[in-house]
Amino acid sequence: MKKKNIELYVGLFVLVGFFCIGYLVLVIGQFSIFPGDQYAVHGYFSSASGLKAGARVEMAGVEIGNVSEISIDTERLVAKVVFKINNTIEISEDSIASVKTSGIIGEKYIAILPGGGDIMLEDGDEVYNTEASLDIESLIRKFIFSDENP
């Protein structure tokens, strides 16, 4: 009888452990059970080089969302970036979305510069004012291989 009690307690302990690990995976992975706490907007960028799904979206240095999808628009032949913004944040239609880099060689993210318009973006709307990231590699290449020698 004692052996069955020990096996029962070990089984319960293992089960609770699996639930805890599953919860941590969902929290660390920022999985949302109720996706209604964010709305999606998109923008078209001439280059989304280095930007990845899951990258953060910031306004005034504070994270307000994340990039959910990056694809190519076959009609415009530019990168279409879909990002989710927290419902507590309103973005006006004249805001500017820029691809920025954390530090010199850090990861890419979207920075939103708020506009002053009265019309706010809603789920599925487009951010018309976008800026692609500065391509440091091409700048270095131009500097090194330029024909001008001082």
pLDDT at site 140 = 81
Q: Give the three-state DSSP class for 92.
A: strand
Question: Whole-prediction pTM value?
Answer: 0.69
140 φ, ψ (degrees, to nearest 5): -65, -40
Q: Is the per-residue pLDDT at 7 higher than 90?
A: no
Parallel, antiparallel, or unpaired for β 108-113 and 56-59?
Answer: parallel
Q: Which two tokens stand for residue 47?
A: 């280059």
Residue percentage of the chain with pLDDT more than 70:
91
Q: Is the per-residue pLDDT at 21 higher than 70?
A: yes
Mean pLDDT of the chain: 85
pLDDT at site 36 = 61
Q: Which residue bears the tokens 């994340």?
A: 66
Nearest-10 Cα torsion for 31, 23, 109, 57: 60
